[in-house]
Structure 1
């Protein structure tokens, strides 16, 4: 698995190569974990 790379405009990836369901799941889980640990989860995400 390749690492997930973020640039100045966000996640940079080729669809179906680095931008996969598994990687989307990892990023979503990481964001959710950060929001919960930071006490921001009750504010929601848009």
Structure 2
């Protein structure tokens, strides 16, 4: 297999690298943590929707 074919396989549906898998799993955790910090730990409840 040539180098171009290896690159194409890795970019378009081939095996994924550890860094990419780590990024895909850690991004939602980081987003939740940032929103918790920005809102001061407030959560969305039915009471807050009515007000």
- TM-score normalised by the shorter chain: which range applies? 0.3 to 0.5
If asked which structure has higher relative contact order (CA below 8 Å, sep 6+), I would say 1
Find the structure with the greater CA-based Rg: 2
Question: What TM-score, normalized by structure 1, do the two folds share?
Answer: 0.40
